[in-house]
Amino acid sequence: MKNLFITREDSKKITKAATLTNVALVGLFIFLVFLFTVIKLDYSFDFSIISRYQKKLINGFTMTLAICSISLFISLVIGIVNAIALKSNIIFFRFLARFYVELIRGTPFLVQILFFFYIITPAFGLENRFIVGFLILSLFSGAYVTEIIRGGIESIPQTQIITANSLGFNKWQIYRYIIFPQVFKRILPSLAGQISSLIKDSSLLSIIAVSEFTMKTLEVNALSFQTYETFSFLALGYLVITIPISLLSKWLERKYFYES
């Protein structure tokens, strides 16, 4: 007599098969949409332009990685410091941190770039566009990281803080040993989303002629007049960076959250 019950192994196989089937269907759908678009445009793609200007494009891609890596580190430092300042007992620090967050989040990034580049940097004698680029990006991203970390801190039950105080922990020890280890697990998905946004937002630095990926792609487009090919490659380049970040985030989320 056949077993009428589905085992756990069978359930996993069915789930895996369903996932692969749906991934294939989505891929087929996207391909058909792209194929339909190409047919309607009646345009013959020539991606040889990419190989002709590969050095320029690779330099831009590398520059984007460098700017985003430095900006990520600085924005994390800014976020941690500001999140602590928002919880500080000193009113001045709380107000200063809140003003910074609201100012950055309440104004367009494009306006911030222009204001910083044409007003702030000349006053301080900053001329290196690479330094200016990652500073602007760090300040912008730092405000959003601040709110992510603040939300993570406030998600910690107050009873843990009270217990730590009763055991004689000072504020630094509470943050170091109790709050931040838990916050890290809770903010991973939001932080990964912010990292992806930071990478995409870096493309706006091209308006001040920072030689990153978008800027180099625009230069190639100006030289070749092959817009479809160059911008398709640009989109693919950003996906190469952001998709692994998303996958890594999901893996870390499962590892540190679901198994906790």
Residues 95-141: pLDDT tens digits? 999 999 999 999 999 999 999 998 888 888 888 888 898 899 999 99
What integer is the mean pLDDT of 36-49? 77
pLDDT of residue 79: 92
* Pairwise pLDDT comparison (66 vs 191), residue with the higher score: 66
pLDDT at 11 over 70: no
pLDDT of residue 65: 92
* Pairwise pLDDT comparison (33 vs 39), residue with the higher score: 33
Q: For residues 51-70, b (16+ Cβ closer than 10 Å) or e, as one string?
A: eebeebbeebbebbeebbeb
What pTM did the predictor assign? 0.79
Domains present along the chain, CATH in parentheses:
52-258 (1.10.3720.10)
CA distance 181 to 183: 6
The mean pLDDT value of the chain amounts to 84
pLDDT at 189 over 80: no
CA distance 30 to 14: 24
CA distance 49 to 54: 8
